[in-house]
Structures are given as structure tokens and as C-alpha cells.
Amino acid sequence: PQPVYLSDYQPPAYRVTHTELTFDLDPAATRVKARLLMERHPEADANAPLVLNGEHLKLISLAIDATPVDASAYELDDEGLRIAQVPERFVLESEVEIAPQENTALEGLYQSNGMYCTQCEAEGFRRITFYPDRPDVMATFKVTVIGDQQQEPILLANGNPIERGELEGGRHFVTWEDPHPKPCYLFALVAGNLHSVEDHFTTMSGRDVTLQIWVEKDNLDKTEHAMASLKRAMEWDEQAYGREYDLDLFMIVAVNDFNMGAMENKGLNIFNSAAVLTHPQTATDAAFQNVEGIVAHEYFHNWSGNRVTCRDWFQLSLKEGFTVFRDQCFSADTNSAPVKRIQDVSFFRTAQFAEDAGPTAHPIRPDHFIEITNFYTLTIYEKGAEVVRMLRNLVGEESFRRGSDLYFERFDGQAVTIEDFVGCMAEASGEDFSQFMRWYSQAGTPDIDAHGEYDYVQGEYHLTLRQRTPATPGQPDKLPLHIPVRMGLVGTKSGQDLTLTLNGEKLGKDAVIHLRDDEQTFVFTDVAEAPVPSLLREFSAPVKLHYPYSREDLAFLLTHDSDGFNRWDAGQRLALLALDDLIAAHRNGVEKVMDSRVVDAFRALLSGPMSDKAVLAEMLTLPSEAYIAEQQPIVDVDAIHAAREFVRQSLAVALRDEFMAIYEANVTEEAYAPTPEQIAQRSLKNVALSYLMSIEDEQGLALCESQFAADHNMTDVRQALTLLVHSDRDDLASPALKAFGEKWAHDPLVMDQWFTVQVSRPQPDVLERVKYLMQHPAFSLKNPNRVRALVGAFAQNRVNFHRLDGQGYQLLADVVIELNRLNPEIAARLITPLTRWQRFDETRQALMRSELERIKQQPLSSNVYEVVEKALA
């Protein structure tokens, strides 16, 4: 497989102005007729051939301006069709045959549980018909879907339905028209036996929009939260960005077999059922919040992605980074803003930092790729969102809004680039972003070494910041970035933020300083007392900040920092220092001793004024094993696990009564609601329970069992089940697992949780259990959610996946090899943990590499090939 390069971009020689499609559905032989109004680009060569993408298509007929094209006039291969000579304007008609039932890759038109659906982003449309499958070709669409009246009573496509009728042989059709020009990756079709819940939204200009969520009949009771989230998102986008919905109908469809979370097809969003269905008895708080965020994300794409789209796939972060930023702000406004930030950053620093440090590291705008589906990554999405956030912080909220208004107005109906977006921000604010643009082209996470000194005599504080971005594959040398560092100086006597005076200018108590050089010293004057610096507040830039904080400094910031995010981060840093010592002790076979300063800090949290329960729950949560591993030069999975367990248990022993009191104070009999208040209460209660269970406290065990038995809501049930299964009390865990498995055997999304709970436990029997569960009737390798819940979750189980006998790696490689044939996109994603081999000891490195080599020996899809190739380079 050959890479494509950003620098090779050429505008299309021919564009499609209008597309008409007719689908005659059949599982084994669907006929697709296309009628494309095409014209040559004014600047293109008059002899330019017409090149159309097309894969897995059986060509039935081909005509230009109603004249059949002679077989000698075109070339056909397994990537598409090439016609040497075409007029300046013409109508291209084609008919092809495809087999949705054989499509296990879940790209293009496929069947899920008997229902037809499509996934076209990024390059799935070429599996439906011959077409210039690229986002800078935008056309209006008219689509007729013909299906069986019994099997497919519901026939959906983008836009508005304009005609419907019955046909011979028990068939019927519906014709849909989408007046907004769109790239073909936003095309969608759904057909099957579906049921809908309907609601309405009145836009800010007073237009009525019909909202429909389409699901299988059994799931009609699981749509309420998604619908409420959709309405909130529609309202929020009007208020925050002045963006109104632009069709009379907005539809969401839930599909069981889906590679991604969801897809923003114009007017017809298709969702992985896991990203839309919720019910208090089946979905956890986290799932409710996830659904809210994804519904909003896809809706927001209607402007950031659909009305204004990407010129080419290298610009993917243009729509994804911006839209993630938009959904993050929406969720922050709807729920607890500090907790949203803490959770996002916590995930980001664990997973994106790892990606940035590994063999698949790439810039937010890559300069080449082999397979674009491999680039739907944390870097493109989450780091892209962090960069948009930095832009907003650099220009301020008002200029940011002016810039986004300008962007949407100027580029409406166009396919554009990241420069166009940043250019609007520059124009609206007068800022110069030329250095800032390096964020889009340089991969890797910058390290910032900070050093501060207080001069008592002068009353000055000297802060030196040094930045360095490590080499990444293909990018040995890096240039300095423009990094906004939000900060404060907290007086050690007063415990208050001190006023910041820099170069004679009073900046207030909280300010953003700009690091642009490799090294810069900032001299703050009129500093009346010795401060502890609070740096990178709210995580103002996606960097690793190193400052030699003492444990006393951290304990001080934990209670005094005015920035909630940094208070949390001080706690994490304090815990990490203690964990470091314990990891070393474990490795050296020395007795582990708990740092009393961590215990004291936790005691202070537990007994202090309890203002925000949601934040407190986060503060009581120790850094994950994955995040701890990120901080270590060589990952020792066993030492990390042992050290973290030791801290959990030491805290539980020392603060047992406090945890018990927290638990009891937060039990409620209220009916379940996914409100911020209730979610905060449940998370605090469940964190307390996890500490109690870590020491198998008798009373804690009883509470855990009764929480499971009470069956009040899935958040509580799942937490109780997890704690039982992850404890050593198999006598209690087995009956609970059995009861849960029997009760929910009919609900695949709940069975996914049942799989995950079991394969993430630390006990050494997990590998056998994974093998056993892969034979379970509820499991299927063909369903991405099942694969993620069972095999994906196992690969996150650090102590078991990284077994020293290599069997964990072997199992993953076996699955990858099998999935490579069925679903290359999911197979390629599943390899990720193996690509991190450099981080481990030599024995594990060799084992991981040999599994990668074994995969490489197979006939590979381009998806898997690209990842394995990079991992072994």
C-alpha cells in the first residue's frame, strides 16, 4: 500500500453538482443506480481523464449523456474507474451491484441485525457507487430507496422525504431530497423494521423542527435521555455560536454493529446503539454523560463539519478538534465544569500522551497516511480540541466568537483548511498565529521544565520556563511552540493568590504568560511573600509540566490553590511522588511504608467543608495504573499495581471510618435521574465503597452486597459487581455474576458490561476467562462493541495483558489476525497496546515484538499493515 501526501493535493478535475441515487435493496445483490451531473473544473486540462473511486462494486452499466460507454473507453481496477475522455459538462449514469450481507468491514452499505445502514466517512462511499469520493466534491442529493414492505417498512436517507409509494411484488419506495450540497462521506441510508420516538424543537428564528430517534422496538424505552440531550444541544449551539438547524427534520438511528461512536450524516445521524440508548437500569452515569456528549458532538457537526467541511482528510482535525472542543464546553455548561475538565485531562494525559510518545505519533495535521481510518485518533480529536481551546484562551471569548462567526459565514458551503479556521481567529483578534501554527505540524508532547526562585530582598519572583519537544518518527528536530501558560502565585503566608506584576504591568491574580522561546525567564515584581507557583491552570496547554514541587508545596496547593483543576492536580502529583517511592521499594524488595503526608492530605479532604462532591470524588481517586505507567522510564506493571494497591489499602485502613461516613451520608432512595447532583453523590459514595472493599472490610462487604441486591440503578449495581468480582471473594462474586448474566442475557449492551467487569479483574485467572467468554453466545467477533468490551478491555488489564509468559499478547495477536479479514478498521485499532512495546522491560519487549512480527507475516489489510509497519520500524 502506498501513502498519500498532503503536499500532493490537487483540486478535483471534475466535480459533481447534483447526485441522484436509486437503491433497490437486497441482502446479496443490491442494485445502485447513480445519475451524476458533472462538470470540469474551469482550470483543469480539457484532456483530464475522469477518475472515479469504486471498490467491491460489480459494474452493470455505464453511460455518458445517455450513451453507453464502450468497454474500450474506460479502465477498471479494484480501486476504481478511469474514463480517458469526457465532455466539459455531462451526465454520468452507472449501475452497480453490491452485497450488503457480506460486508463485515462495516464501511459502505451493510446489514446490522437485518437492518440496512451505511457508514461512509471517510472513504466508504466508494463501496456504494463509482464517485469522486473526496470531501471537496459537494453536491445536492436526491435518493430513492426501494425495499420490501414487510422487511423494510422504514426507508430513510438524508434531508426531507418528498415522495413515497407502493411497487409491485410487495415492495415500496421513499424518495429523499437534501438541498444542502454535501460531500459523499455525509451520505446515509437506513432501511429496516424500526420504530421512532418523536419530538419537536423550535429554532431561534421560530422554525419547527421534527426530531426523531429510530430504534428497534425493544429499545423504545431507552431514548428519552438522548432526545433531551439533543434539544439541549440545539439550544446551546444557538446561544453559544448563533448556529441554527437548517432542515425540517433531524433523525438519529441506533445501530448495533458500528465501528465508531456515531456519525454526523446530514439530517440522519447514525449512532452506535451504545452511544444513544440509556435507561437507569441498563446504563451507568458515565454512559448517560457519554450519550449526552456524543449526541451533542454529532449535532454540532451540522455546522462544524457539514455546512463547512474539510478540503481533504489531512484537515480532519478542522472539524473534529473544533467539534470536540464544542462538545466539551457544552458538557461543562450542562454538568460540573471542573469535573468535566478533570476527567477530560486525566484521560488525555494518559492516552494521548502515550500516543504522542509512541511509534504512531503524528501531528494534528498529518502530512501523509496510508489508511485514513487509522487517523481517527486522540491526537486529531482530543489534542485538536486542546489547540482550539488554546486559541480561545489566547484571543479571549469575544474575539473567539467573532472569529467563529466569521468562519461559518465566510466558508458556508465550502470545503476548507485549518489555515482558513485559524485565519478567521487571527482576523477577528488581530493576533499573529504564525508560530502557533506549529502545533498543527509538529507531533509529540512538549516538556516544560519550570524553575522558580523568590528573591526576598528585591521582592521578586523569577520563573524560568524551558520547552523541548522530543523527537517523533519522521520529525527528529522540533521548533519552539507558542505556549499559553495560565498561572498564579500563591502566597505561603496568606494562602492567597498574589497580584502578578510583570514588566511593570499588573496582570491580576491569575494570568496567561506566553512562552515562545526555548527558554524564557519571567520576573514578577512586588511579590510581598514567598509564593508557591500554580502553573498551567485548567491545563492551559497540552504539555508535560515539570516543577520540582516538594510534598509540602503540593499539600499546600491541594488546599489553597484557587484553581480547582490545579488543586486536583496537586493531589495527583502528591500521590505520584508517594507511588514512586513504593514502586522503588517493591522492585528492591524493601518493605513498603506509606507516606503519612498523603494520608493527612486525604484526611483533610474528607473532613474539610464538602462543597463540590463531584470534585471531591475525583480528588479521592488515585492516578490510574496507566497514568502512573506514563510517568515511569520503564513500565513495571507488577510494581505499579502493587504500589497502587498498597496506597489504596493504607488509605482505607487509616481513614476507614471517614469512608464509611461518606458512604452512609450519600445513600439515597430517590428515583434515579442523571442530574449533576445525583451523579456527584453516587460517585462519591462509590469511591468510598471501593476503598472499603480494598481491605475487605466486613461492613463494607455487606454494603457492597446489598447495593448489588438492591438493584436501584446500573451505576450502583455495576460498581458493586465490579468491586465483588475484583475482590478475592469469589464466593460472593460468582453468584452475583451469574445472576447478572442471566438477568441481562437479552441485552447486548449490558452483557458488554458483564464482559468488561470480568476481564478487567487483577486475579491471574483472567486469560482463561477471556478465552472462555469468547465462546459465550453473547459474544461475536463481528460486532465491534463486543470486541471492545471483551478483548479491548482485557488489553487494558495491565497485570494480565502483560503476563510474563506472553500469552496475553498472543491472544490479542490471534484476534487481530482474525479480525484483519473481517473488519480491518477495528483490527488496526485493537493493536494499539502492542505498539507501546518500547515502554516495557526487555523480556516483554521481545514478546510484544514477536507477536507484531507474527501479525506482519499474514496477508494484511492496509489498515493493519500501516500500524504494524510503524510499530516495528
Cβ neighbours for 561, distance < 8 A, ≥ 6 positions apart: 488, 490, 534, 567, 570
Binders of ligand DPP: how many residues, by CB under 6 A?
9
Q: Which three cell numbers stand for residue 65?
A: 449523456
Q: Which three cell numbers stand for residue 668?
A: 439515597
* Shortest reach from residue 31's CB to ligand DPP, in Å: 28
* Shortest reach from residue 120's CB to ligand DPP, in Å: 10
* Shortest reach from residue 320's CB to ligand DPP, in Å: 6
d(CA 73, CA 822): 35
Residue 260 binds what, of Zn ion, ligand DPP, none (CB under 5 to 8 Å, by partner type)? Answer: ligand DPP
Q: Which three cell numbers stand for residue 838?
A: 518500547
Nearer to ligand DPP among residue 294 and residue 357 (C-beta) = 294
- Which residues pair with residue 468 across a beta bridge? 447
Nearer to Zn ion among residue 309 and residue 501 (C-beta) = 309
Q: Enter the DSSP assignment of 285.
A: H
Nearer to ligand DPP among residue 107 and residue 264 (C-beta) = 264
* Shortest reach from residue 265's CB to ligand DPP, in Å: 9
Query: Quick check: 599 binds ligand DPP (CB under 6 A)?
Result: no
How many other β-carbons are positioned within 10 Å of the β-carbon of residue 458? 12
Sheet holding 74-77, edge to edge: 50-53, 80-83, 74-77
563 contacts 519 by C-beta, under 8 angstroms = no
Nearer to Zn ion among residue 323 and residue 445 (C-beta) = 323
Of residues 108 through 137, those in contact with ligand DPP by CB under 6 A are 121
d(CA 440, CA 229): 32
Q: Write the DSSP assignment of 569-591 as a string of letters.
A: HHHHHHHHHHHHHHHHHHHHTPP
Which segment (82-90, 319-327, 577-585, 707-715) binds Zn ion by CB under 5 A?
319-327
d(CA 806, CA 848): 8
Nearer to ligand DPP among residue 120 and residue 703 (C-beta) = 120
Which segment (143-151, 255-263, 630-638, 860-868) binds ligand DPP by CB under 6 A?
255-263
Query: Quick check: 298 binds ligand DPP (CB under 6 A)?
Result: yes
Of residues 789 through 818, those in contact with ligand DPP by CB under 6 A are none
* Shortest reach from residue 544's CB to ligand DPP, in Å: 26
**Residue in 739, 698, 735, 701 with CA at minimum distance from that of residue 720:** 701
Active site residues: 298
* Shortest reach from residue 264's CB to ligand DPP, in Å: 5
Nearer to Zn ion among residue 381 and residue 755 (C-beta) = 381
Q: Is 476 helix (H, G, I), strand (E, B) or coil?
A: coil
Which residue's C-alpha cell is 441481562? 744
Residue 567 binds what, of Zn ion, ligand DPP, none (CB under 5 to 8 Å, by partner type)? Answer: none
614 contacts 686 by C-beta, under 8 angstroms = no
Which segment (257-265, 491-499, 761-769, 807-815) binds ligand DPP by CB under 6 A?
257-265
Provide the total of helices (H) and of strands (E) in the chain, helices listed first: 31, 33
* Shortest reach from residue 121's CB to ligand DPP, in Å: 5
Residue 262 binds what, of ligand DPP, Zn ion, none (CB under 5 to 8 Å, by partner type)? Answer: ligand DPP
d(CA 291, CA 274): 8
Nearer to ligand DPP among residue 292 and residue 320 (C-beta) = 320
- Tell which one of 234, 263, 639, 687 touches ligand DPP (CB under 6 A): 263
Please classify residue 151 by burial: count the beta carbons closer than 10 Å to its beta carbon, then call 0-12 exposed, 13-18 middle and 19+ buried: middle
* Shortest reach from residue 118's CB to ligand DPP, in Å: 12
For residue 76, report the phi and psi dihedrals to the nearest 5 degrees: -125, 130
Per-residue HEC secondary structure of 674-724 comes to CCHHHHHHHHHHHHHHHHHHHCCCHHHHHHHHHHHHHCCCHHHHHHHHHHH
Which segment (77-85, 321-329, 672-680, 760-768) binds Zn ion by CB under 5 A?
321-329
* Shortest reach from residue 301's CB to Zn ion, in Å: 6
Q: Enter the DSSP assignment of 49.
A: P
Residue 374 binds what, of Zn ion, ligand DPP, none (CB under 5 to 8 Å, by partner type)? Answer: none
Of residues 409 through 438, those in contact with ligand DPP by CB under 6 A are none
d(CA 759, CA 725): 10
455 contacts 466 by C-beta, under 8 angstroms = no
Residue 356 binds what, of Zn ion, ligand DPP, none (CB under 5 to 8 Å, by partner type)? Answer: none
Q: Is 301 helix (H, G, I), strand (E, B) or coil?
A: coil
Q: Which three cell numbers stand for residue 792?
A: 479491548
x/- track of binding to ligand DPP for residues 434-453 (CB under 6 A): --------------------
**Residue in 176, 218, 223 with CA at minimum distance from that of residue 23:** 176
61 contacts 112 by C-beta, under 8 angstroms = no
Sign of CA dihedral 304, 308, 309, 314: negative
Residue 308 binds what, of ligand DPP, Zn ion, none (CB under 5 to 8 Å, by partner type)? Answer: none
Cβ neighbours for 640, distance < 8 A, ≥ 6 positions apart: 579, 583, 625, 628, 629, 632, 798
- Tell which one of 20, 152, 257, 264 touches ligand DPP (CB under 6 A): 264
x/- track of binding to ligand DPP for residues 365-404 (CB under 6 A): ----------------------------------------
Query: Quick check: 636 binds ligand DPP (CB under 6 A)?
Result: no
Cβ-defined contacts of 739-748 (< 8 Å, 24+): 744/282, 745/778, 747/282, 748/256, 748/273, 748/778, 748/783, 748/785, 748/786
Which segment (281-289, 296-304, 503-511, 790-798) binds ligand DPP by CB under 6 A?
296-304
- Which residues pair with residue 62 across a beta bridge? 94
* Shortest reach from residue 261's CB to ligand DPP, in Å: 6
Of residues 318 through 347, those in contact with ligand DPP by CB under 6 A are 320
579 contacts 628 by C-beta, under 8 angstroms = yes
- Tell which one of 4, 204, 260, 576 touches ligand DPP (CB under 6 A): 260
Nearer to ligand DPP among residue 379 and residue 501 (C-beta) = 379
* Shortest reach from residue 188's CB to ligand DPP, in Å: 11
* Shortest reach from residue 654's CB to ligand DPP, in Å: 44
* Shortest reach from residue 214's CB to ligand DPP, in Å: 17
Of residues 323 through 352, those in contact with Zn ion by CB under 5 A are 323
- Tell which one of 262, 465, 721, 813 touches ligand DPP (CB under 6 A): 262
Which segment (28-36, 100-108, 248-256, 314-322) binds Zn ion by CB under 5 A?
314-322
Residue 337 binds what, of Zn ion, ligand DPP, none (CB under 5 to 8 Å, by partner type)? Answer: none
Nearer to ligand DPP among residue 122 and residue 721 (C-beta) = 122
Sheet holding 189-192, edge to edge: 108-112, 115-119, 189-192, 154-157
Binders of Zn ion: how many residues, by CB under 5 A?
2
d(CA 316, CA 134): 12
x/- track of binding to ligand DPP for residues 464-493 (CB under 6 A): ------------------------------
Nearer to ligand DPP among residue 103 and residue 302 (C-beta) = 302
* Chain residue whose CB lies nearest ligand DPP: 263
Interface ranges with ligand DPP (CB under 6 A): 121, 260, 262-264, 297-298, 301, 320
Question: Which residues lie near Zn ion (CB under 5 A)?
Answer: 320, 323
